[in-house]
Amino acid sequence: MTHITDAVVIGGGPVGLATALSLEKAGLSVTVLERSSLPAWEEPSFDGREIALTHYSKRILKECEAWDHIPQSVICPLREAHVETGSFRHPLTFDTNGRGEEALGWLVSNNHIRRALFAAASEKERIHLQPHTSVETVRQGQDYAAVHHSGGRIKARLVVGADGRFSPTRRRAGIGAIVHDFHKSMLVCRMAHESPHHNIALQWFDEGQTIALLPVNGMASSLVLTLPADEIQRLLATPRDEFNAEITRRVGARLGQMRLVSTRHAYPLKGVYAHRFTGRRLALVGDAAVGMHPITAHGFNLGLKGQETLAQCIGKAFNIQADAGNAQALRQYERQHRRATALLFAGTNGIASLYTHDALPFKPIRQACIRLADRFTPFKQAVTTLLMDKKTTA
């Protein structure tokens, strides 16, 4: 059986669902293909990841009608962000002082964002959500693309690959990618602690490890610990009491005794930048286009901005020619998203390299950088603006 639609989104993660909502808002009919079962897609389980949403991303989620599906009790405002290195306890501090804003951004668990976007998408008549579906081939023709999957075939004017940084859609299209392997893994989980976090996020580049503590509501924080992969695997299997003691030691007991209150999850650290973001009747979004190192906490935010750019470019062409796969619109998306991501991707990788090497001369250089940056007000203001990303918000 062949189904016909304006656009097919391969991958029903948060960026894929946001893309479907944005394209639907532009007037397109959209089918979303997702490998997970319906229960797992509709009610995703905790995966350890806390997403630092900017003001811009909050606006996008509101326009997608997803924000109201996120319970207020799970949204934690981020008041300050501190950056430290080694035992050099002179933090580089970012806050909203003088900006008239209550928060730099908001921390929300990834599974709550996914649940909210699924709920919003399921309310749209022009969005068809198809779970438990594996894509087999994508044929990109002159006038349409044919997607063959485990349940049949779909003809669409546009195919959107939103299937992660190791995207099969990108590979099928013959699009290569720059893959930066940091040869590390990160462990993420939620830890309760004795002292309040005061809604401050910490990024600590310690000797032999990188630690982030991200505030969540209550006396708890999300731990993001970066180590060699074998060390992360050991910690995943460490008994709970021993794990609590080791994490308390690793973070210097700065929030008192730490206690694991969630499942533990591990992810390899690899940055990805696709050689092209588009092909004939094809666009890549989210990590399939640009998979960022989490050091800036901007990967998901970039994904949201990218899909909005795509929807704007496609929407204009669709209103004129009723062709969701218009080549000129796809080229425009490519240009705009590359301008928005290329320097940030390169800069992030450079920062990650500088701040995760402990040998000379990296350690004294980063100490000097933090000291100078904290004294240079224009730099701090520029970074704070980047963290908040308030431009063009409503």
Q: Residues 104-137: pLDDT tens digits?
A: 999 999 999 999 999 999 999 999 999 999 999 9
Q: CB 136: neighbour CB atoms within 10 A? A: 12
Band of pLDDT at residue 225, cut at 50, 70 and 90: very high
Give the C-alpha separation, 269 to 180, whole Å: 9
Residue 344, both tokens: 């940030």
Question: From residue 373, how far is each of 67, 85, 91, 368 by CA, in Å?
Answer: 35, 13, 10, 8
pLDDT at 373 exceeding the cut of 80: no
**Residue for token digits 């299937």?**
163
Contact 293, 267 (CB under 8 A): no
The pLDDT value recorded for residue 113 is: 98
Alpha carbons 334 and 313: distance in angstroms, whole number: 10
The residues near 368 (Cβ < 8 Å, ≥ 6 apart) are none
Cα–Cα distance, 134 to 146 (Å, whole number)? 14
Q: What is the Cα gyration radius of the chain?
A: 21
Domains (range + CATH), the chain: 4-80+103-179+271-360 (3.50.50.60)
| pLDDT of 380 | 44
Which one, of 37, 49, 6, lies nearest residue 14 by Cα? Answer: 49
Is-contact 188 231, C-beta < 8 A? no
- Top pLDDT among 346 and 120 is at 120
Quick one: pLDDT at residue 180? Answer: 86
CA atoms within 13 A on the CB side of 140: 18
Is 109 in contact with 76 (CB distance < 8 Å)?
Answer: no
Report the C-alpha gap between 255 and 219 in whole angstroms: 9
Contacts of 9 (CB under 8 A, 6+ apart): 16, 17, 19, 20, 23, 30, 31, 32, 33, 160, 162
Residue 102 — very low, low, confident or very high, per pLDDT cuts 50/70/90? confident
Local confidence band at 379 (pLDDT 50, 70, 90 cut-offs): very low
Say yes or no to pLDDT of 371 above 60: no
Q: Higher model confidence: residue 112 or residue 319?
A: 112
